[in-house]
Amino acid sequence: MVKALSGAARENALASLSGWEQVEGRDAIRKIFQFRDFNAAFGFMSRVALLAEKMDHHPEWFNVYNKVDVTLSTHDADGLSERDIKMAKAMDAWA
């Protein structure tokens, strides 16, 4: 059972990310990625999809053309967990 991050661990985790915002009324983080075109956006999504399957942890995302709107939270923890931070860092590295 994965636990939601809290206190200093949560603050430190959020501080390690780039450009993610906290979602109003939900223990989740969100970021909108913008790419040069759809091809680049979908390539990013394909790469993240393979990681999601490997981690058994899946983003909530919405894609329109070159934008990918991502929200991360952990259903099992009913909040933000290390899994979300790990995935967010990978997304930042690959964007």
Backbone angles phi, psi at 42, to 5 degrees: -70, -30
Q: Among the candidate windows 6-14, 32-40, 43-51, 72-80, which touches ligand HBI by CB under 6 A?
A: 72-80
Out of 58, 63, 69, 86, the residue judged to bind ligand HBI by CB under 6 A: 58
Q: Which residues contact 92 (CB under 8 A, 6 or more apart)?
A: 17, 18, 19
Distance CA 37, CA 72 (A): 23
Among positions 6-25, residues that touch ligand HBI (CB under 6 A) are none
Site string for ligand HBI, 27-56 (x = CB under 6 A): -----------------------------x
Which two three-digit tokens encode residue 65? 């053309």
Q: Where on the chain is the footprint of ligand HBI (CB under 6 A)?
A: 56-58, 74-76
